[in-house]
């Protein structure tokens, strides 16, 4: 437990002291939410504006969580590699999985803090949700699943790319591009059919659709079918498992 807590505290400090992390994880989603409210939603009928703002808020929470896992985690890994931390840890009684858990918990905390900030901004801008206790709990579960998938991608990036800036920009690029083509930045109904298929299986957009379905209402398809739920869970676990394996091989055994 001491290994996990030490890595967790170090990860928290790195995340909250990173200017690029604060910008991409908190400032950028907040800016995009402001654009959605004051520009993109201007033509929405008055009776639907509050829920439309709520949907945009949820999508920016999802993006914040996604970019957190895909940028903060690989940035931390690349920084530790350049400092020679893995070489030092290999001479100590430190288990790789505990070190990885500490890093992931730090990213999880950072992501949840950013999500809370974005939700507060959304509510202040007039966002409203159709909240039930069951829907809220299930939504939180799928948010955690999205975090798991994004952390898996982040572990893969951090394991394969040694440059700190390279790791950050790769994560940002993947997060922005996939959000643009999977219905996170734009409504699902606006996507062409081929991208709608992608949105249904990409874990982060699928989790986003489920959360919107629970807290807002219909989004253009039912994301709760057995097929879509199975694909979301399986692909999320595959990303996470691949990330853990590559992290162990490239950051611990190869360093």
DSSP state letter for 202: S
Sign of dihedral through CA atoms 162, 164, 166, 167? positive
Q: What angle do CA 210, 154, 57 make, to 5 degrees?
A: 35
Q: How far apart are CA 199 and CA 127, in angstroms?
A: 24
The CA distance from 102 to 109, in Å, is 11
Q: Where are the alpha helices (DSSP H) in 23-132?
A: 28-35, 46-67, 73-82, 85-89, 96-124
Closest alpha carbon to 151 in 108, 116, 207: 108
Residue in 60, 5, 2 with CA at minimum distance from that of residue 28 = 60
Alpha-carbon distances, residue 135 vs 138, 200, 217 (angstroms): 5, 20, 11
Q: Are 60 and 26 in contact (CB under 8 A)?
A: no
pLDDT of residue 178: 94
Q: Quote the CA–CA distance of 81 and 185 in Å, as a whole number.
A: 33
pLDDT score at 94: 67
**How high is the pLDDT of residue 21?**
87
* pLDDT at position 154: 95
Q: What is the pLDDT of residue 49?
A: 93
Dihedral sign for Cα atoms in the order 232, 202, 125, 214: negative
Q: What is the pLDDT of residue 11?
A: 87
For residues 133 and 39, is the Cβ–Cβ distance under 8 A?
no
List helix spans (H) across the chain. 2-17, 19-22, 28-35, 46-67, 73-82, 85-89, 96-124, 133-160, 164-181, 193-201, 203-215, 226-247
Joined tokens for residue 237? 């676990």
Number of H helices, E strands in the chain: 12, 0
- Do 74 and 157 contact (CB within 8 A), yes or no? yes
User: Among candidates 2, 242, 241, 15, which has minimal Cα distance to 106?
Assistant: 15
pLDDT at 79 (0 to 100): 86
Residue 165 Cα distances to 5, 48, 54, angstroms:
27, 41, 33
pLDDT confidence of residue 81: 83
Tokens of 107: 């990213």
Written as tens digits, the pLDDT of the chain (255 aa) is 577 888 899 889 988 988 888 999 999 999 999 999 999 888 888 889 999 999 999 999 999 999 999 999 999 888 888 877 677 766 676 677 778 888 889 999 999 999 999 999 999 999 999 989 999 999 999 998 999 999 999 999 999 998 989 999 999 999 999 999 998 988 888 899 999 999 999 999 999 999 999 999 888 889 999 999 999 999 999 999 999 999 888 876 654
Quick check: 138 and 129 in contact, CB under 8 A? no
Ranges of each domain in the chain: 2-253
């Amino acid at each position: 437990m001491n290994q996990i807590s030490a890595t967790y505290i170090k990860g928290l400090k790195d995340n909250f002291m990173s200017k690029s992390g604060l910008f991409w994880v908190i400032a950028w989603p907040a800016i995009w939410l402001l654009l959605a409210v004051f520009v993109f939603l201007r033509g929405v009928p008055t009776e639907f504006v509050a829920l439309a703002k709520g949907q945009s808020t949820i999508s920016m929470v999802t993006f914040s969580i996604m970019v957190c896992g895909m940028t903060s985690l690989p940035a931390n890994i690349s920084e530790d590699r350049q400092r020679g931390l893995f070489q030092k840890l290999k001479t100590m009684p430190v288990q790789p999985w505990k070190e990885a858990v500490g890093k992931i918990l730090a990213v999880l905390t950072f992501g949840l803090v950013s999500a809370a900030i974005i939700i507060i901004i959304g509510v202040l801008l007039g966002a409203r949700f159709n909240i039930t206790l069951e829907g809220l709990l299930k939504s939180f579960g799928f948010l955690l699943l999205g975090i798991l998938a994004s952390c898996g991608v982040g572990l893969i990036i951090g394991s394969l790319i040694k440059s700190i800036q390279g790791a950050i920009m790769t994560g940002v690029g993947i997060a922005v591009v996939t959000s643009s083509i999977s219905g996170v930045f734009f409504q699902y109904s606006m996507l062409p059919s081929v991208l709608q298929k992608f949105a249904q299986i990409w874990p982060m957009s699928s989790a986003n659709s489920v959360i919107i379905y629970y807290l807002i209402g219909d989004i253009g398809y039912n994301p709760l079918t057995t097929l879509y739920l199975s694909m979301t869970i399986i692909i999320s676990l595959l990303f996470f498992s691949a990330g853990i394996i590559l992290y162990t091989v490239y950051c611990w055994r190869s360093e």
